[in-house]
Structure 1
Amino acid sequence: MKPIELVVFDMAGTTVTDRHEVEVCFMQAAARTGLSVTPERVLALQGYAKRQVFEMLWVELLGEKHPELSEYVDISYTEFCSILEDHYLEHDIFPTEGCLEIFEYLKSQDIKIALTTGFYRKVANIILGKLGWLKGLDHHYKSDGSGIIDVSITPDDVLKGRPEPFMIQKAMEVLAVKDAQRVINIGDTPSDLKSGLRAGVRLSLGVTNGTHTRSQLNIHRNDGLLPNLLALKPIIEEISEKSLAE
């Protein structure tokens, strides 16, 4: 049995190049719907399920018992969805540095690839489709063996999104990976790191070429911070070598 059976990747900022477009879309939606928020606060909530972010922000502004809280959240979230979908439909989308190379390496080692995200399914599919990563996925978004990735999980597929561990656990369930110690989780936000730690994976790693810098991630508990995804290769090789020596 391989020491690493599955790597779980975040999407925007980790496997998908993000030049802070999501934050810009958040700020636009907030401004259009009367929600006062700073860019720093929005950045701190990157990686969470997007509707949850608006709920958290409106609670901070109005209090959780405000009688129209749900309505405010719905209005902001609906506006955000419209802005975000238009953005990804109208703009080119690219993998991050080292992404395709690490995917190819993992395939060569028969290590499964799962993508998780804070995006809802419609936006996730727009991105996956434009990258060609929907190829080989069935209606449950699991690969038939011919796909670039092995499964795609969104907050729509689980009880709650990040920082909870449920998307990682769902990916493990779908791909029949029983032991979290044979799983590596990697992302570019504090919520990505927390999700992996809560799932009890072998390593919960961060990349510093996404939405957060090394100094922004280093204050959060993590098992290592990498300059890009390709830096994951020697880590997996070292784990494999140690396993063979035991």
Structure 2
Amino acid sequence: MTASNSSLQAVVFDWAGTVLDFGSCAPMGAFVRLFERFGIDITIAEARGPMGMAKWDHIKAVGSLPRVAAQWQQQFGRDFADADVDHLYEVFTPMNAAVVPDFADFIPGALETVSALRARGFKIGSTTGYNRPIMEVVSKIAAQGGFVPDNLVCAGDLAAGRPSPLMMYRCFADLGVWPPHTVVKVDDTGVGLEEGLNAGTWAVGVAISGNATGLSLADWLALTPAQQAECRAAATAQLKAAGAHVVIDSVADLLPVIDELNARLARGERP
């Protein structure tokens, strides 16, 4: 086995809730307003449920919830169907693209962590549940702030999105890295972690900065230590249940985990 095969070479980051948009807040209001526009009431919890999926799949999942499907049936006199998902998706993309600039602040420590990884020679990949039109807005803002990953794979680029491994396979090809156990996937959602696991990579969950906790930075900081501990425990359990090898608060805590995973690889452990 070559040296490159026994140590980590690349980290593939999710975007919202992982690198920027603390709490993964941008899509939430857009989802609620989207269904509102069609006379359907959904809660933030219902909107958050499928987070991390491609947005078309996310809309279908929300619309298929029994409470939401019943409202749709009552409103339109028919079942919620794929044609409806297509229509909602067309309306959703510009709505989400319009709000993402308001939620594009970097998660504290994200830029420093990426910079430190690059200094160690790591490739930096990225996948997202956002589609290309939304990411054209997000990536431009991120680049102005100093985050330019080596690649970007969006929902809709390939035949299947998360939790399939296809976007990760594209990352391997774009970054020129293999085998999968030399790659780490960092994500705030279960399906995003599963995307990495299904591709054979290590999976690191971020519990506090993303969808699992679902609070803005200001709201998180306003909690008491006891409340924070409760949120952390619940989010950690959720991400561990999805298969995360390690769970951290945010990407600011990633570097020691990279060292830990390298040590595990050196001992012959694999994801």
TM-score bracket, shorter-length normalisation: 0.7 to 0.9
- What is the alpha-carbon distance in structure 1 between the residues aligned to residue 267 and residue 179 of structure 2? 21
Give 1:81 shift: 1.3
- What is the alpha-carbon distance in structure 1 between the residues aligned to residue 60 and residue 43 of structure 2? 15
The reply on whether 1:17 has 2:26 as its aligned counterpart is no
Q: Which runs of 5+ in 1 are unaligned?
A: 136-146
Q: Equivalent residue for 2:96?
A: 84
For the structure 1 residues 111 and 133, does the alpha-carbon distance in structure 2 shift closer, same or farther, using more than 3 Å as the test? farther
Percentage of identical aligned residues: 23
For the structure 1 residues 134 and 128, does the alpha-carbon distance in structure 2 shift closer, same or farther, using more than 3 Å as the test? farther
Q: Equivalent residue for 2:205?
A: 206
Match of 1:236 among 258, 262, 268: 258
Q: Equivalent residue for 2:63?
A: 58
For the structure 1 residues 37 and 129, does the alpha-carbon distance in structure 2 shift closer, same or farther, using more than 3 Å as the test? same
What is the count of residue pairs matched by the alignment?
Answer: 231
SS at match of 1:153: coil
Amino acid at match of 2:125: A
- What is the alpha-carbon distance in structure 1 between the residues aligned to residue 121 and residue 248 of structure 2? 22
For the structure 1 residues 185 and 243, does the alpha-carbon distance in structure 2 shift closer, same or farther, using more than 3 Å as the test? closer
Q: Equivalent residue for 1:40?
A: 45
Give 1:71 shift: 2.8
Q: How does 1:43-192 map to 2 (within 5 A)?
A: 43-60=48-65, 61=69, 69-89=81-101, 91=102, 93-132=104-143, 148-192=148-192
For the structure 1 residues 244 and 206, does the alpha-carbon distance in structure 2 shift closer, same or farther, using more than 3 Å as the test? closer
Q: Equivalent residue for 1:29?
A: 34
Cα deviation digits, residues 24-74 of structure 1 (max 9, x gap): 1101001112344332122111100001111223344279xx787233212
- What is the alpha-carbon distance in structure 1 between the residues aligned to residue 249 and residue 79 of structure 2? 46
Match of 1:4 among 3, 8, 11: 8
Q: Which runs of 5+ in 2 are unaligned?
A: 214-231
- What is the alpha-carbon distance in structure 2 between the residues aligned to residue 171 and residue 79 of structure 1? 29
Give 1:156 shift: 2.4
SS at match of 1:97: coil
- What is the alpha-carbon distance in structure 2 between the residues aligned to residue 59 and residue 244 of structure 1? 45
Q: Equivalent residue for 1:144?
A: none
SS at match of 2:185: strand
For the structure 1 residues 133 and 106, does the alpha-carbon distance in structure 2 shift closer, same or farther, using more than 3 Å as the test? farther
Give 1:83 shift: 1.2
For the structure 1 residues 28 and 178, does the alpha-carbon distance in structure 2 shift closer, same or farther, using more than 3 Å as the test? same
Give 1:4 shift: 0.6
- Report the RMSD for the aligned CA atoms in angstroms: 2.5
TM-score normalised by the chain length of structure 1: 0.84
Amino acid at match of 1:184: V
Match of 1:218 among 237, 242, 251: 237
TM-score normalised by the chain length of structure 2: 0.77
For the structure 1 residues 41 and 128, does the alpha-carbon distance in structure 2 shift closer, same or farther, using more than 3 Å as the test? same
- What is the alpha-carbon distance in structure 2 between the residues aligned to residue 239 and residue 59 of structure 1? 39
SS at match of 1:155: coil
Out of 108-117 and 26-35, give the one that drifted further: 26-35
Larger relative helix fraction: 2
Give 1:10 shift: 0.4
Q: Equivalent residue for 1:141?
A: none
Out of 54-63 and 188-197, give the one that drifted further: 54-63
